[in-house]
Amino acid sequence: MSEISERLGRALLETVERDDPEPFIEAVRELEPDPEELERFLEALKIQREKGRVSEETVRVVEEVVEKAGGRRERGELPETDPLAEYAGVDRVLGTIMTGKEADVLLAEKRGRKVALKVYRAFTGREEKREERAYRTEDGEVVRRVERGDAALREFSRLKRAYEAGVRVPEPYDARPGVIVMEYIPGEPLYRAPDLEDPEAVLDDLVRQVERLAVKAELVHGDLSAFNVLVSDDEVPYIIDLSEAKGVKEPGAMELLRRDVENLVDFFNRKYDVSRDVDEVVERVRERVYGDR
């Protein structure tokens, strides 16, 4: 017998003992059993009535409750439980924002507030992505280490590091293996956002964000382009998608930084005829990261 049946059974016994419908009604409210299951218990209650162990009145009240619960379910009014929403700890999933390379991004609602869910598609609950990373130790030696762990949890912790360093990224709320819950940014990715009123200001802002990410959060984005910048409706740029981010002192990080800045500057150059000196940005970061040596 299932746990629900067992608990309903106990509630029914109590209802009979006290000749009071309340324990059974309470259990129905809490357990939301299937209509068929409810019918079975109603039949059992009626048998008790025939034996004179419970009053007509109690049975009538229970009958009413069972009828209502069954009817509500047939009309689809009982809340359907969505396993993804439940897993992610949100109230409900409202729709799909975008299906990306490795992940789907969904719009959801949590306590009356819109949130974005990034759901890694490959996630099955078991696999762990292994990733080899190289680190430079204090005395310049390069060590290699295999990083284990879930891609979503890793991106979440980088997002948190960036957010706490004051970089404009969506606020990270929560994560579990395979899923990130974060602030929803209404707007469009830069590559297809409507023409900017002040492209110079947006580019300068983005360069400042990239510098802060490197110096304060000690991260290089590694996949920055007009695809991974969201421009809000009031023209404020947010950096997203830290799935490829690397430590600022890892070998090759400065080259990644150069490529990130170049991608942005090229985009602004092509679309808005605005330019910035990429070398200058990279040198400024290098000095602040490694000190003048």
Point out the residues that are catalytic: 223, 241
192 binds ligand ATP (CB under 6 A): no
Identify the CA nearest to 26 among candidates 43, 13, 41, 8.
8
Q: Are 31 and 8 in contact (CB under 8 A)?
A: yes
d(CA 210, CA 71): 57
Q: Which of 9, 23, 35, 100 binds ligand ATP (CB under 6 A)?
A: 100
User: Which is closer to Mg ion, CB of 217 or CB of 239?
Assistant: 239
Residue 228 token pair: 């991974």
180 binds ligand ATP (CB under 6 A): no
Pattern of binders to ligand ATP over 243-272, x per CB under 6 A?
x-----------------------------
Residue type, 108: A
Give 274's contacts (C-beta < 8 A, 6+ positions apart).
Answer: 199, 200, 203, 268
- Residue 202's binding partner, choosing from ligand ATP, Mg ion, none, with beta-carbon cut-off 5 to 8 A by kind? none
Subset of residues 228 to 257 that bind Mg ion, contact rule: CB under 5 A: 228, 241
- How many chain residues bind ligand ATP (CB under 6 A)? 20
- Residue 98's binding partner, choosing from Mg ion, ligand ATP, none, with beta-carbon cut-off 5 to 8 A by kind? ligand ATP
How many residues are given for the chain? 293
241 binds ligand ATP (CB under 6 A): yes
Q: Which of 118, 161, 168, 212 binds ligand ATP (CB under 6 A)?
A: 118
First to last CA, the chain: 73
Sign of the C-alpha dihedral computed for residues 274, 280, 284 and 290 taken in this order = positive
215 binds ligand ATP (CB under 6 A): no
185 binds ligand ATP (CB under 6 A): yes
Phi/psi-derived region of residue 205, left when phi > 0, alpha when psi is between -120 and 50, beta in every other case: alpha
Q: Catalog residues that contact ligand ATP under the rule CB under 6 A.
A: 97-98, 100-103, 105, 116, 118, 170, 182-185, 189, 228, 230, 240-241, 243
Q: Catalog residues that contact Mg ion under the rule CB under 5 A.
A: 228, 241
